[in-house]
Amino acid sequence: MASSTLPHLFTMDPEMAEVKACEQAILLARDLGFRKVIIEGDALNFISKLNSLMEDRSDIGAIVKNIQDVRKQFQIISFVHVSRRCNRVAHILAKDYGTTTTHMVWIEQVPTYVEEAVEDDRWWIMPPDY
């Protein structure tokens, strides 16, 4: 439905990059008026923290708390761990826009070179009947 890239030029830790990307995703979904959302990520440790009721005291704890606070604004929201192979679009966008200083948002579209990865990700969610 929507995708976005936001530069995090000073984020060197992969877990911090993942948590910041999730925070941006949930804020974008809220700003677009979505009420039912599924956030997918391939970082199991981080997804587990989002689904936990316990306070997170790690380096990402403040952002995890912010995400958990914002999640209350949705009718339904799920944080789901997916295999990296099901999350190719996110990795392509992160790689190609990781060094940009521009915030990009696509609504109901993606850059043309990402379309094949969108179809691949869709196949993992709903494989064709054989």
List the domain range (segments joined by +) for residue 61.
Answer: 2-125
Residue 130: predicted pLDDT:
43
The alpha carbon of residue 56 and the mean position of all alpha carbons in its chain are separated, in whole angstroms, by 19
Torsion angle, alpha carbons of 31, 33, 39, 45, to 10: 50
Per residue in 60-89, pLDDT (tens digit) is: 889 999 999 999 999 999 998 887 766 676
Torsion angle, alpha carbons of 38, 29, 13, 58, to 10: -70
Residue 93 lies in a domain: yes
Mapped onto helix, strand or coil, the DSSP state of residue 55 is coil
Residue 19 lies in a domain: yes
The pTM for the full model equals 0.70
In the chain, the number of structural domains is: 1
Residue 114 lies in a domain: yes
Give me the CATH number covering residue 33: 3.30.420.10
Residue 117 lies in a domain: yes
Q: How far is the C-alpha of 31 from the C-alpha of 16, rounded, in Å?
A: 22
Helix residue ranges per DSSP H, 32-130 = 44-51, 61-70, 88-97, 115-125
Residue 130 lies in a domain: no
Residue 92 lies in a domain: yes
Mean pLDDT by 10 residues, the chain (130 residues): 65 76 89 90 86 86 91 92 72 62 72 70 53
Q: How far is the C-alpha of 101 from the C-alpha of 28, rounded, in Å?
A: 18
